[in-house]
Amino acid sequence: MKRQAPAPRLRVLHLHSSFDPGGKEMRAVQLMNAFGPEVAHSVVSAVPTALGAARAIDPATLVDYPEFPALTGKPFPRRLQQLARAMAGYDLVLTYNWGAMDAVLAHTAFAEVLKLPPLVHHEDGFNQDEAERLKWHRNLFRRIALFRAQWLVVPSQRLEHIARTAWKQPAAMVRRIPNGIPVFAYGRKPKRDALPRVIKHPGEQWVGTLAGLRAVKNLPRLVRAFAPLPDHWQLVILGEGPEREAIRATAAALGVGHRVHLPGHVAHPAEVMGLFDLFALSSDSEQFPISVVEAMASKLAIAAPRVGDVEAMVAGENRRFLTAPGDEAALSAALAELAEDAALRAAIGAANRARAEAEYDEAAMIAAYRKLYAGALGRTTFP
């Protein structure tokens, strides 16, 4: 009996401005791992050394990091054509955020003549340069560049509104898929030494956060809001990025350097977030932060600015501890009230966990992306 040849693997190209750990990068890894070895992935980072998220890719997942034309530069026709030619040969192109928008424009310009694969674009939020106000020329660029994209995927209600208004995208093209996590992996109490370089000592309580150390996260603000808490409270910031020294300098200037800890990126937050007693966010801009869902799944109360979809995400019991964006004094007061009342923290944490279980488990997210990518390819299943 003649053996049937195995079906060829799908080849998916991912174009990122950076592939260092962050919300969109870790979600991309989460999906790559879920799709398994039936899909081969090629990951491009506009910064070749920014590949830290690759550490979380399952060894069974097929992935390479090909040479690719620069994702940033002047959008001259010759450069756009080079970008477009580099997309040929794949089955699906996935682009992420503003940093990949030149590639989206290249696809729109040359998709027909070069018979390029379908493209799905993902938008997850903004850097510091658009934290307070969108740039009109970027809005216009997106309107033009997205003309031939199969879909535009966003995680938040706010981004869905922006896509339909500022970027003038048709309702049928915009797909909102909330971020999800393996909720039931969270909530366990880890060992005191589960984190590198930081041990939780008896009698200590921790305010924790999980964030890329970037300006838009405004972590010096969190240090300042935390500083008035009693001495047995520690601030633990999990993440990597260029703002590390600014955070340390702020802590030193306030005399709390010994209570502020930056152990670096953690590949598996579920294994350590149970050390936190309280979760905090201090960002100037967010959309649908995965870290908030992770905190909810870890049974934590959350103090945070009212940015993006955070207010809609958390349980009703938690909402009065969300503050006006930029109001540092209010954030500090929210931290102080939660820090002094363990019973209140526990009640809010239980409500957040219940909401995470009901709304944000990863199974629904993965199923939605499978359906979306399959539709882009004209298939019924993906992979």
Write the CA distances from 208 to 228, 297, 312, integer angstroms. 16, 14, 21
Same domain, residue pair 235 and 161:
no
Q: What is the band of 4 on the pLDDT scale with cuts at 50, 70, 90?
A: very low
Write out pLDDT tens, residues 206-215: 999 999 899 9
Give Cα separations from 210 to 1, 106, 158, 235 (angstroms).
Answer: 56, 35, 22, 11
In tens, the pLDDT along 165-215 reads 999 999 999 999 999 999 999 998 899 999 988 999 999 999 999 998 999
Question: Is 147 domain-assigned?
Answer: yes
pLDDT at 264 over 90: yes
Number of structural domains in the chain: 2
Confidence at residue 127, expressed as pLDDT on a 0 to 100 scale: 76
225 and 169 part of one domain: no
How sure is the predictor about 359, in pLDDT bands with cuts at 50, 70 and 90? Answer: very high
Domain of 224, CATH number, reads 3.40.50.2000
Residues 146 and 192 grouped into a single domain: no
Same-domain pairing of 26 and 138: yes
Predicted confidence (pLDDT) at residue 147 exceeds the cutoff of 70: yes
In tens, the pLDDT along 275-325 reads 999 999 999 989 899 999 999 999 999 999 999 899 999 999 999 999 999
Residue 1 pLDDT exceeds 50: no
Domain limits at 217?
A: 183-359
Q: What are 203-262's pLDDT values in tens digits?
A: 999 999 999 899 999 999 999 999 999 999 999 999 999 999 999 999 999 999 999 999
Residues 215 and 166 in one domain: no
Q: Whole-model pTM? A: 0.81
User: Is residue 197 located within the same domain as residue 292?
Assistant: yes
Same domain for 244 and 129?
no
Do 192 and 143 share a structural domain?
A: no
Q: Is residue 1 one of the residues assigned to a domain?
A: no
Residue 154 inside a domain? The answer is: yes
Helices (H) and strands (E) in the chain, counts: 12, 13
254 in the same domain as 134: no
Closest CA to 12 of 38, 45, 30, 34: 38
**Is 298 in the same domain as 277?**
yes
Q: Does 250 map to a domain?
A: yes
Q: What residue spans of 58-180 are helical by DSSP H?
A: 77-87, 101-114, 136-145, 157-165
Q: Measure the CA–CA gap between 226 and 234, rounded to whole angstroms.
A: 9
